[in-house]
Copies of this chain bind each other. A is one copy, B any other.
Amino acid sequence: MFSPNVPPVISPSNPDPLVICWAGGSIMYPKARLDALHDGIFSVAMTLLVLDVRLPEDFHPADGGELVRGLAKLWPKFLPYLLSFTVLGLRWIANIQTRSRAEYFNREYVNWWLVYLLLITFVPFSTIVVGRYAALASAIWLYAGHTLLIALINLRIVALTPELERDDHQRRRTTSAPFLGISSLLAIGLSFADPKIALWGLALNFAQPVIERWRYGQPQTD
């Protein structure tokens, strides 16, 4: 139906966006299916994060006060859970922001995108490590190095995305991954001073949605 010599036009007017298509002889992968796996993996990873925030099996509090103290001791695990959920949530939002009007992507894009999803599935692991050993600088390095790598691969994927819109949207899109990268570096830097406060460098990401909304979220009255 499609021959390499007669490349079809790839456009939103293509009637069937779920089937693979050809452009100039190379296979192109449909955005709709890539989005399905992407959203599935984010859903599972974001929900699995909570599995390590739990009270010990042999914890039998005598009264309510003891239970509250037991829950309070989970804070070192709860902060990384909040952090990782925020990092994943902001990555997910950045993903639906960065996508271009292209309906298909080439193999190079798909390869990097798989590496990116591999890093996403690894978030529950590094979250557990930093939740247990936050007092050790090397736990911070693992976690912040991981988020730094996510930011870098994300920038690579954005660079490979075809048909990006060159306007405010474009400018904004490129601030989200660098924000994560810089806060990761800040956490690594702080870990040399005191590992216990290092995660607060990454906690800057809690403020990012508010900043984004303040800068771009409201319709301009122009």
Contacts and interface: CB of A to CB of B under 8 A. Distances in A.
Nearest to A166: B1
A93 interface: yes
Interface stretch (A64-72, A147-155, A182-190): A64-72
A159 interface: no
A55 B213 contact: no
A204 interface: no
Given A64-B136, A212-B107, A222-B5, A217 B49 contact: no
Contacts of A51: 48, 124
Interface string A17-43: 011101111110111110111011111
State the majority secondary structure of interface residues on A: helix
A99 interface: yes
Contacts of A96: 20, 29-30, 33
Interface string A78-90: 0000100110010
B37 A219 contact: no
B37 A41 contact: no
Interface string A44-81: 11111111011100000101110110010000000000
Contact of A216 (B35, B40, B44, B107): B107
A179 interface: no
Interface string A104-137: 0011101100100110011011001100110011
Contact of A167 (B3, B30, B108, B137): B3
A37 B39 contact: yes
A139 interface: yes
Nearest to A53: B125
Contacts of A65: 138
Given A108-B217, A128-B54, A101 B39 contact: no
8 contacts: A5-B222, A20-B97, A24-B220, A30-B96, A45-B47, A47-B121, A50-B125, A85-B118
